[in-house]
Structure 1
């Protein structure tokens, strides 16, 4: 009789375990189905969150456009420079001279990037109209780009030394270099430039920390005249 009772208990326990396992399995199935086929309330919440994100993005875009982002503009005087950089978090300012033909190369690339990277303001200023600013920012090579974040000059791109030491550098190369300074939102690989640096005969010069910090200039960069 005792053995019979033990059999009943064992079967009862086995049944309970199976029931529990089946219940867990059913709960998991239900959860998976819910994730794969969200109910109407969940779908509505997802749509609302997406719409809110789109509205925030559109509002941000409009704010940037109102501050002059989205186009590559020339500022007429050094006084305007200070108000422009104060108004935006990220600014790229090209210091140019009409007589320096390489400035036209920079113009071409910055015009493209200004339309692509609305998060950053792209400007240019004639050094002959900004002697105080040129001296203050130690602009000794033309073309040079000052990269300004939160109103402070964070970095410089001096001549084309950081861009492969060639007039034929690509817009993608300049985009990568700006990304290295966190002055644009760069989605590529910052550890490697977008051109094949390992190819034989490549003139690419790796950007060193001292260059990125804008503390020194390369002696073989183009001088501030042609």
Structure 2
């Protein structure tokens, strides 16, 4: 049997690194176990007053959430609506914390694809205001936001433009992307409450493969000509 000192230097280094990694893993596992034991002990020691306090906090959170839902509905959330002028756009972004506004033209078929998906997402995500505005009827706003390609979704949070979804590049660069893919992309901008894995698009989960950042955000074979310049 070969002794450690008889092995090539790189083999010895690899062995040492493996040993260090094993020790770190054991230490991390021990810390997690201690934290878990502490939480279990804390739960075991709860008395009726503690449980009542937890229930009160939970009920207060549920009540606050319900009040927020009522506020969202009062502001037109739950429906995919049309904005008819630039003034209405600014009023909407002031009233609603999360806004997804689709800039469109009637002649562009890809704008109708976006309409279809946003109509599905609007009632699902009451926390977000989904709307659209005809780019031809809002020239000042379109120029101010530097919108050059349609469809473009302007993503606004707390009154400030946070991100844009331009064309379909971020949605798989194809017309038949799923509503879940659009939901995932909007979730990346935090303009809706996304419950899935933000690091992995739904299509990758279905295929059990991990898409690289280059594939998600843009590709060399990006078919940008299929989006229409405004």
- Determine if the TM-score, normalized by the shorter chain, exceeds 0.5: yes
Question: What residue number does 2:44 align with?
Answer: 35
Is 2:101–2:130's contact at 8 Å kept on the other side of the alignment?
yes
Q: Unpaired segments of 5 or more residues in structure 2? A: 1-39
Is 1:165–1:205's contact at 8 Å kept on the other side of the alignment?
no
| Structure 1 residue 138, shift from structure 2 partner | 1.2
Q: Distance in 1 between matches of 2:160 and 2:204?
A: 33
The number of residue pairs the alignment matches comes to 184
Question: What residue number does 1:112 align with?
Answer: 120
1:178 maps to 2:186: yes
| Structure 1 residue 221, shift from structure 2 partner | 4.9
1:189 maps to 2:197: yes
1:90 maps to 2:98: yes
Q: Unpaired segments of 5 or more residues in structure 1? A: 1-30, 209-216
Question: What residue number does 2:169 align with?
Answer: 161
Q: Distance in 1 between matches of 2:139 and 2:128?
A: 25
Q: 1:128-150: per-residue Cα shift (whole Å, max 9, x none)?
A: 11111111111111111001112
* Higher helix proportion: 2
Q: Distance in 2 between matches of 1:46 and 1:196?
A: 39
The normalised TM-score by structure 1 is 0.72
CA RMSD of the aligned region, Å? Answer: 2.9
| Structure 1 residue 190, shift from structure 2 partner | 1.3
User: What is the correspondence of 1:1-226 to structure 2 with a 5 Å cutoff?
Assistant: 35=44, 41-196=49-204, 205-207=215-217, 219-224=224-229
| Structure 1 residue 119, shift from structure 2 partner | 1.4
**Structure 1 residue ranges (4+ consecutive) displaced by more than 4 angstroms after TM superposition:** 38-43, 197-200
Q: Which has the larger radius of gyration?
A: 1
Structure 1 residues 218 and 57, CA, compared in 2 at 3 Å: closer, same or farther?
same
Is 1:158–1:221's contact at 8 Å kept on the other side of the alignment?
no
Is 1:161–1:205's contact at 8 Å kept on the other side of the alignment?
no
